[in-house]
Amino acid sequence: MDYLNDLNEAQRQAVVDINGPALVIAGAGSGKTRVLTYRIAHLLKLGIRPDTILALTFTNKAAREMKDRIIRIAGYDSARYLWMGTFHSMFARILRIESSLLGYPADYTIYDTQDSRNLIKTIIKELELDNKIYIAAEIQGRISTAKNNLITAEAYANNPGITENDRRTRRERISDIFKIYSARCYKAGAMDFDDLLLNINILFRDFEDIRKKYQKQFRYILVDEYQDTNYVQYLIVKHLAEEHRNIFVVGDDAQSIYSFRGARIENILTFKNDYSDYTLYKLEQNYRSTQNIVNAANSLIARNTGQISKKVFSKKETGNKISIISAQTDMEEGFIISNSIFDTILEKQLAYSNFSILYRTNAQSRIFEEALRKRNIPYKIYGSLSFFQRKEIKDILAYCRLIINPKDDEALKRIINYPTRGIGKTTIQKIENHTNQHGISMWEIVSKPGDYEVLLNQGTKTRLKNFATIINDFISETGKSDAYDLVFRIASETGILKELYNSNSPEELSKYENIQELLNGIREFISSPEQESRFISLGEYLQNVSLLTNADNEKDDDKNKVTIMTVHSAKGLEFKYVYIAGMEEDLFPSVLSASNQKELEEERRLFYVAITRAKEQVTVSYTHSRFRWGVLNYCKPSRFLNEIDKNYLDWPGENNRLNNMHQLDDLFPRQRSRKRGIIHSATNTNSFVGKKLVRVKESDHNLRIPDDFRASDPLDIQTGMVVEHIRFGKGKVINLDGKPPNIKATVFFHSHGQKQLLLKFAKLKIL
């Protein structure tokens, strides 16, 4: 048993004590996967039959990696017969065997998300329901949530609380859709992903002999990431473990961050209630991160009340403190972080893959994509599409493309019926076929449908004429409205914003926020100093975007890239250098969570996950201002930064900066939309109109903008000069770095400490 020598004492105990219920609380980087893997290998080495072992994971990748390790220890012949995989794959396997009991064929079809959504769309259409109220994605989410709480279509329809809620939201026909959807799936011999878990519960509930059969078969049950299990998964595992009670679950309550997917932290916190004779093992040595990173994360998560006590420690080097940096704007934040990565790579000769930028929302990716591209730093977006490749962004840009070039048939096909305007696929196909035969653009027919009597009926011609009128109106504005105003009109007047805004779906909200971020980017582009306040047309902006998106076609090594992603996507990953961006109130923690204690604790756990992804260095950034819908909003640092023990932080001018930001919060109260939680500047806040900074009425002398304040030419600023900033007051330039127009100044301000500023945006006045 030489393989046991690879384990520390805590890990070894969790591996060799094979009988009875066990809970392993594994701190970040403590070898959770190793313990789970070695325990399975140890069972096989002891002669336990592999087909009596059920190991459940959340990803196929995790299952494959663990199985490969088990094979190296126990051999292929032993490992090949393990029941090991994701919840869905393992229970789909059981359903293949027992499906006839539920009336399904053994070779039943599994519908993916798009299959399910398409079927729901068909049903909505057949019922002649308003698809602006009955949005397929929302209905699908509603049905999924019900199934994951063991609510069938029949139970849904008979639940007064549920049906009353649907009635209040003017969607009282959801129960009808659910019934028809379930019947259609059954008729087609198909299950969706949620059915796999729902039907296993029904199988075990209704067929006692089948339940006992699998209870007897699985002598040892092991579950990875137990804190991420939902209610239906919890019940399945509980049923299966009743016979032998050899249930071994591994997880970390401090990393429970998926409640929006139905995960229940209560499953791990109350494990002892289900198995009073359980043994608790704590893996507390972190093998990933330096001592400062681990200690900082501990001091943060200690603020949570709902947790299982543990003290994670590291025996690695002390390491650097967590670096806190501030930026004037999110654009400057992107510049500072990309520069830091660039400089660190040059200084330490590291691969790009050692670096990751994490953020709270997908919409934040745009800034970093642009900043990294300008530095020629290759990157990949993990777990989501590139910002400019997202559907909602491509839809808006397709309108722009058609307005600039009406001969762009691909752009026309993309948006001619989005938002829905009654121009169907048959019509589009007819037009496309005709244009291909006669060598003309589709726009020639769409803009003059009356010239094609045989091709189109009267109703179709009217709809095409209405669409052409919309596009022609936008075309007529291209020389009058700048890029920002015209794109905002496109998003508004086409109905795209209204459709997304009126949805309660998290998916649609994310799209809404992404369009907001696109508009922010356009505002920044047209108001940047290098544009010299000149008129920026839609065509010029579109050309700029096209140059950016063309960079996506670079054929370099996918593995050697900086990774940018949401914190949710980063769970389970690790990097030498981690940048956590946007640590501001109402962004991280989210404005939707800040007033709810339970949700706030999950946001704190999310930040904990972000910090513990790093091996050597964590850099956290926040901005003093951030664009929202083209309006500049002032921000203050996240409360979470104040919760970390200051002994583990490198935060220049920390106290002054925090006090200043609290003053800003008092001076510039923000108005919160009750419907969305979207933040808008109050009427007395600063806003940018082109390059001009409009004066704010306030009394604080550090923030006051004198009538005679005129920023100096950035090229005139030299090291050693005394300068004035409109917010930070007087300071001395102690260093200049870079070349025009991207010169970066290090300035020591008397009241705010040392800051790095990009001169072209800083607006410094030489004294």
Q: Sheet harboring 53-57: ordered strands across?
A: 83-86, 53-57, 220-223, 247-251, 22-26, 279-283
**Cα distance between residue 117 and residue 136, in whole Å:** 6
- DSSP-derived 3-state class of residue 325: strand
Contact status, residue 606 vs residue 568, Cβ threshold 8 Å: yes
- Residues annotated as catalytic are 32-33, 224-225, 255, 613
- Could you give the residue ranges of the DSSP H alpha helices within 84-192? 87-98, 113-126, 136-147, 153-157, 160-168, 174-187
Q: 36-63: string of b/e by CB count within 10 Å (b at 16+)?
A: bbbbbbbbbbeebebebbbbbbbeeebb
Q: Which amino acid is at 294?
A: V
For residues 572 and 57, the answer to whether their CB atoms sit within 8 Å is no
Backbone angles phi, psi at 249, to 5 degrees: -115, 140
What's the half-sphere exposure (Cβ side, CA atoms, 13 Å) at 438? 12
Q: Using the CB atoms, write b or e for 362-383: b if 16+ within 10 Å.
A: bbbbbbbbbbbbebebbbebee
Measured distance CA(175)–CA(143) in Å, rounded:
9
> Is the Cβ–Cβ distance between 312 and 304 less than 8 Å?
no
- How far apart CA 497 and CA 511 sit, in angstroms, is 9
CA-closest candidate to residue 635, choices 578, 562, 583: 583
Angle at 56 between CA 214 and CA 149, to 5 degrees: 80
Q: Find the length of the chain.
A: 767
CA distance 162 to 165: 5
Phi-psi region of 225 (alpha: psi -120 to 50; beta: other; left: phi over 0): left
φ/ψ (deg, to 5) at 622 = -145, 160
> Which residues are 221's β-sheet partners?
54, 247
